[in-house]
Amino acid sequence: MQPDASAQRPRYLKTPDAATHLGLSPRTLEKHRCYGTGPVYRRLGGRVVYAIDDLESWAALGTRRSTSDTGAGTVHPARRRPAEG
């Protein structure tokens, strides 16, 4: 017997659903995509989609236990980053 397809979690989310998953506005997620500060995304045909695992990995970069915890990474604001060099 095969599992009910409607009970399975979607593998990819479009921008509005991905933003909701992260607790962001779709526009903020679009800005992150433009500035290269957001989660990994894919282009399938003309659509931009995000794998749920990629969204969760990106969000996990911001995990901290205290204000002095430097964490494993940084979730940058959705704005242009200064050129390094």
Residue the block writes with tokens 């903020």: 28
What are the pLDDT digits (tens) for 42-68? 999 999 999 999 999 999 998 888 888
Question: Quick one: which of 75, 77, 64 has its CA closest to 31?
Answer: 77
DSSP bridge pairs for 44: 47
Q: What are phi and psi for residue 36, nearest 5 degrees?
A: 75, 20
The CA distance from 29 to 58, in Å, is: 12
Taking only the tens place, the pLDDT of each residue in 17-47 is 999 999 999 999 999 999 999 999 999 999 9
Beta bridge partners of residue 12, listed in sequence order: 51
For the question of whether the overall pTM of this predicted structure is more than 0.85, the answer is no
Res 5 pLDDT > 60: no
